[in-house]
Amino acid sequence: MAKMVHWAGIFYAVKANPAPQVIERLVASGAAFDAARWCEAVALCGELFVRAADAGISLEILTLGGGFPVSCGDGAVPEPGRVFEVIDQTIDAAFPGARPRVILEPGSVIVANSGIIRSEVILVADRAYDTTERWVYLDVGRYGGPAESEGEAIRYRMDAVGCDGPRGPVVVGGPTCDSHDVMYENAMCTLPLALTAGDIVTLCDTGAYTSTYASVEFNGFAPLEEHYI
């Protein structure tokens, strides 16, 4: 069975010392690395495969890992087809002879755009401290599925259904009354100024890692219902 090794050990050790002894210690049958740095790393792994062959080590597998960017329709990241096209071109350039067996772990890029979370506004409140902030509380929060809003790392696009007009910045909170159940406080999300309790807000591009993240009855709230079309 082929063994896999952590990308960081290969990437940095080979970059610092590409001697065959290092390759023998670190490599079983492949080279793995962080997908976010695949462009540089594919070229480096091409060199690694050559050095390994010169040392009598036959490498067969190149794993690109995961973490491929998901487009949320705002043009901030390229579409998946373009990402994989560039990867393919980079592999061709790095391995002009026989290509290794390539393994991808695309994960969320496959399904993220295929799902939405339909939520209801339960309260809109102006909270005045140093400045006036408009808080919108939804019936789904960090504990109800969008756990990857932790640290506001993933900023889901939100659409208000049937509520138009001017928009303004909001802080987005969940329903549980837990102090950590705040999805977006610094992201400067905007929602219609006319938004009120009972309106529907859709969280877009939530097809990955949401229902599986939903807590079970945290503070009495049921996990997400799932519907497939």
Q: What is the pLDDT of residues 40-77, one digit of tens each?
A: 778 888 888 888 888 888 888 888 877 788 877 666 77
Between residues 147 and 12, the one the model is more confident about:
147
pLDDT band at 210 (very low <50, low <70, confident <90, very high): very high
- Domain ranges, ordered by start, for the chain: 7-110, 115-203
Percent of the chain with pLDDT over 70: 79
CA distances from 229 to 81, 116, 212, 213 (A): 24, 12, 18, 21
pTM score, whole prediction = 0.74
Q: Which residues contact 13 (CB under 8 A, 6 or more apart)?
A: 22, 26
What is the mean predicted confidence (pLDDT) over 95-122?
A: 90
Question: Which tokens belong to 112?
Answer: 């993220």
Q: Which residues contact 212 (CB under 8 A, 6 or more apart)?
A: none
Cα 86 from Cα 84, distance rounded (Å) = 5
pLDDT value, residue 11: 47
Statement: residue 193 has pLDDT above 70 = yes
pLDDT value, residue 41: 79
pLDDT band at 86 (very low <50, low <70, confident <90, very high): confident
Rg for the chain, CA atoms, rounded: 23
CATH class of residue range 7-110: alpha beta
pLDDT band at 167 (very low <50, low <70, confident <90, very high): very high
Q: Put the strands of the sheet holding 200-203 in their side by side order.
A: 158-161, 200-203, 117-128, 132-138, 167-173, 182-192
CATH architecture of 115-203: Beta Barrel (2.40)
Instruction: Let me know: does 160 contact 198? Beta carbons within 8 Å.
Output: no
Cα 168 from Cα 96, distance rounded (Å) = 53
